[in-house]
């Protein structure tokens, strides 16, 4: 399968190109980064410190959108919003890893999936997607008798908070408990906060050094607590998952999916794909 990478010069872009090259069933067919980048025109192989691959870094998805069967986009929300429209017009499939999309951008993604197949997930690692299922079980068993906090830590370069994964974890728990995350989320605390309301779900964010991505959901009762933790130690865990999603998307013409669909973990809890 011919795969194109958008945001190819970024932290994840480079990993995604390596993951595409390492997979015997995928071929790196295109690479795109931001217009004006000094790396435009450079061969993708050179970007990776390898021999030339014959794929020059393009400055606009529109120029190469027909060179690949599926594109993988890990960039920024404004760029992803445009890439969705370019792929929609060309009929090209899209795997999206970008986090921090606003409601309007998510709605346009949903609309585009009426014409093309899109996979949209805040985290493509197998471990985090397993954690989403474990969280459903924990929330269902522990119910309203516990205080729930989502704690995440990432590298100092991350520009959005809380992480997309933390928000999804909160959504999974809230939905299992019949709560609306928009109404019950508390983002950080400071000053005279008053006693904790048990129906809230708290979020704490750490940004430091080179942390790849840590997430913990704490269910704390009187006398005991349960913590479900995932720690990513390599971005390749996300890269391999996204390339797997790209392959899987090849079997679909249109529709909105997430990594739970790719892994066959789809249950009752709604992901972004439903
Ligand atoms: N779903 C998942 O599993 C994961 C999701 N992510 C998410 O992926 C996104 C990217 O993360 P990361 O790789 O660390 O970030 P980086 O900043 O390292 O990479 C983003 C790349 O996209 C480029 N870019 C910006 N605008 C455009 C544009 N209009 N067209 C093409 N390329 C563009 C940037 O260029 P420049 O820097 O020059 O602006 C940069 O090279 C984030 O939203 C992050 O949260 C990250 C890891 C896992
Ligand atoms: O920006 C990152 O690095 C990551 N972002 C994703 C998120 O926001 O959840 C996934 C992963 O934790 C790494």
Cα dist. 115→75, 86, 89, 91 in Å? 22, 12, 9, 7
34, 122, 155: which to mutate for ligand 1, most atoms within 8 A of CB? 34
Tens of pLDDT, residues 87-137: 999 999 999 999 999 999 999 999 999 999 999 999 999 999 999 999 999
Tell whether 106 and 12 lie within a shared domain.
yes
- In what helix (H) or strand (E) does residue 64 lie, and over which residues does it extend? helix 61-64
Q: Which ligand is nearest to the CA of 241?
A: 1
**Residue at 139 is within a domain:** yes
Q: At what angle do helices 236-249 and 126-142 cross, to 10 degrees?
A: 90
Nearest CA to ligand 1 atom 40: 10
**Residue at 272 is within a domain:** no
**Residue at 273 is within a domain:** no
230 is catalytic: no
Q: Which of 70, 51, 99 is nearest to 6 (CA)?
A: 70
Range of the domain at 62: 2-120+235-262
Tell whether 71 and 93 lie within a shared domain.
yes
CATH of the domain at 161: 3.30.360.10
**Residue at 156 is within a domain:** yes
Tell whether 36 and 115 lie within a shared domain.
yes
Task: Work out how many domains the chain is built from and give that number.
Answer: 2
Residue 241's pLDDT is 98
The ligand 2 atom at the shortest distance from the C-alpha of residue 159 is 1
User: Cβ distance 75 to 6 under 8 Å?
Assistant: yes
Mean local confidence (pLDDT), 15-26: 98
Cα separation, 147 vs 126, in Å, equals: 27
CA of residue 101 to ligand 1 center, whole Å: 13
Query: What spatial distance separates the first Cα and last Cα of the chain, rounded to whole Å?
Result: 26
Tell whether 170 and 135 lie within a shared domain.
yes
Tell whether 155 and 216 lie within a shared domain.
yes
Nearest CA to ligand 2 atom 4: 213
Cα separation, 173 vs 107, in Å, equals: 22
CA of residue 210 to ligand 2 center, whole Å: 12
In the set 83, 154, 215, 230, the catalytic residue is 154
pLDDT of 194 higher than 60: yes
Cα separation, 26 vs 3, in Å, equals: 7
Q: Which ligand is nearest to the CA of 35?
A: 1
Cα dist. 107→101, 103, 205 in Å? 10, 6, 26
* Dihedral sign, Cα of residue 42, residue 45, residue 50, residue 52: negative
**Residue at 20 is within a domain:** yes
Tell whether 134 and 209 lie within a shared domain.
yes
10, 16, 158, 168: which to mutate for ligand 2, most atoms within 8 A of CB? 158
Tell whether 202 and 78 lie within a shared domain.
no
Tell whether 33 and 10 lie within a shared domain.
yes
Tell whether 165 and 211 lie within a shared domain.
yes
**Residue at 213 is within a domain:** yes
154 is catalytic: yes
Q: Which of 156, 72, 169 is nearest to 127 (CA)?
A: 169
pLDDT of 34 higher than 90: yes
More confident residue, 272 or 29: 29
Tell whether 176 and 66 lie within a shared domain.
no
CATH of the domain at 90: 3.40.50.720
Cα dist. 130→55, 152, 227 in Å? 35, 17, 14
Strands 147-154 and 213-220: antiparallel
Determine whether the shortest distance from the Cβ of 110 to ligand 2 is under 6 A. no
pLDDT of 143 higher than 90: no
Cα separation, 152 vs 211, in Å, equals: 10
In the set 2, 133, 158, 252, the catalytic residue is 158
Tell whether 56 and 28 lie within a shared domain.
yes
Q: Is 59 marked as a binding-site residue? A: no
Cα separation, 140 vs 154, in Å, equals: 28
Tell whether 74 and 38 lie within a shared domain.
yes
CA of residue 195 to ligand 2 center, whole Å: 31
Strands 57-58 and 27-32: parallel
Q: At what angle do helices 103-112 and 77-90 cross, to 10 degrees?
A: 20
Determine whether the shortest distance from the Cβ of 5 to ligand 1 is under 6 A. no
164, 214, 235, 236: which to mutate for ligand 2, most atoms within 8 A of CB? 164
Cα separation, 141 vs 160, in Å, equals: 31
Residue 273's pLDDT is 47
Strands 225-232 and 201-207: unpaired
Hey, which residues does 148 pair with through a beta bridge?
201, 219
Tens of pLDDT, residues 49-82: 999 999 999 999 999 999 999 999 999 999 999 9
């Amino acid at each position: 399968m011919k795969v194109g990478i958008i945001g190819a010069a970024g932290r994840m872009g480079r990993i995604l190109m390596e993951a595409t090259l390492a997979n015997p069933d995928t071929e790196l067919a295109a690479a795109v980064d931001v217009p004006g980048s000094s790396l435009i025109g450079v061969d993708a192989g050179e970007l990776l410190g390898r021999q030339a691959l014959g794929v020059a870094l393009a400055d606009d998805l529109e120029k190469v959108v027909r060179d690949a069967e599926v594109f993988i986009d890990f960039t920024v929300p404004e760029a992803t919003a445009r890439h969705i429209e370019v792929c929609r017009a060309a009929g090209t499939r899209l795997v999206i890893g970008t986090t921090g999309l606003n409601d309007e951008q998510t709605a346009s993604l949903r609309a585009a999936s009426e014409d093309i197949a899109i996979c949209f997930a805040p985290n493509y690692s197998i471990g985090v997607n397993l954690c989403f299922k474990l969280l459903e079980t924990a929330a269902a068993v522990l119910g309203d008798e516990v205080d729930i906090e989502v704690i995440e830590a990432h590298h100092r370069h991350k520009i959005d908070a809380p992480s997309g994964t933390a928000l999804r974890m909160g959504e999974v728990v809230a939905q299992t408990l019949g709560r609306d995350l928009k109404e019950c989320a508390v983002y950080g605390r400071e000053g005279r906060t008053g006693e904790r309301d048990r129906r809230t779900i708290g979020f704490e964010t750490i940004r430091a050094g080179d942390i790849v991505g840590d997430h913990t959901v704490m269910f704390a009762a009187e006398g005991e607590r349960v913590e479900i933790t995932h720690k990513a130690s390599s971005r390749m865990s996300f890269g391999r998952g996204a390339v797997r999603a790209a392959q899987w998307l090849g079997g679909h013409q249109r529709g909105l999916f997430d990594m739970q669909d790719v892994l066959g973990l789809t249950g009752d809890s709604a992901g972004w794909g439903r």
